[in-house]
Amino acid sequence: MSESDDQSKSPRPASRVWHKRTLVLRRDDHVGDPIGLIFLEDPAAISDRIIARLRDYFGPRVRILKAEISYEEIAVDLESRGWRDESNHLASAAADLHRKGAKRNAQSMYREALDIDPLNADAMLGLGLSLVETEKWAEALATLKRAREFQGTDNVEMLLAMAKCAARLQRAASAILYLERAYDIDPRNFMVRRALRALGRDPSQGGSGQGGGAVNSGES
111 and 210 co-located in one domain: no
> Distance (Å, rounded) from C-alpha 88 to C-alpha 1?
27
5 and 89 co-located in one domain: yes
4 and 94 co-located in one domain: yes
According to the model, what pLDDT value does residue 220 have? 39
Distances (CA, A) of 105 to 11, 70, 97, 132, 177: 20, 40, 7, 15, 32
Domain contains 115 = yes
Domain contains 141 = no
Q: Which residue has the higher pLDDT, 207 or 138?
A: 138
Domain contains 210 = yes
159 and 174 co-located in one domain: yes
57 and 161 co-located in one domain: no
Nearest 5 degrees, angle CA 53-CA 155-CA 134? 75
10 and 104 co-located in one domain: yes
Q: Give 61-120 pLDDT, tens digit per residue.
A: 899 999 999 989 999 999 998 888 899 999 999 999 999 999 999 999 999 999 999 999
Q: Give 138-158 pLDDT, tens digit per residue.
A: 999 999 999 999 998 899 999
100 and 2 co-located in one domain: yes
The answer to whether the beta carbons of residues 121 and 150 sit under 8 Å apart is yes
Residue 7 has pLDDT above 60, yes or no: no
According to the model, what pLDDT value does residue 47 have? 81
3-class SS at 17? strand
Instruction: Give the domain extent around 74.
Output: 17-82
4 and 24 co-located in one domain: no
Q: Exposure of 146 by Cβ count < 10 A (0-12 exposed, 13-18 middle, 19+ buried)?
A: buried
113 and 28 co-located in one domain: no
Cα–Cα nearest to 12, from 79, 82, 91: 82
2 and 108 co-located in one domain: yes
Percent of the chain with pLDDT over 90: 67
113 and 129 co-located in one domain: yes
3-class SS at 219? coil
Domain contains 144 = no
Domain contains 117 = yes
Domain contains 218 = yes
> Distance (Å, rounded) from C-alpha 70 to C-alpha 59?
22
61-80 burial, b if ≥16 CB within 10 A, otherwise e? ebebeebebeeebbebebeb
Number of domain units in the chain: 3
3 and 43 co-located in one domain: no
Domain contains 142 = no
Domain contains 149 = no
DSSP state of 23: E
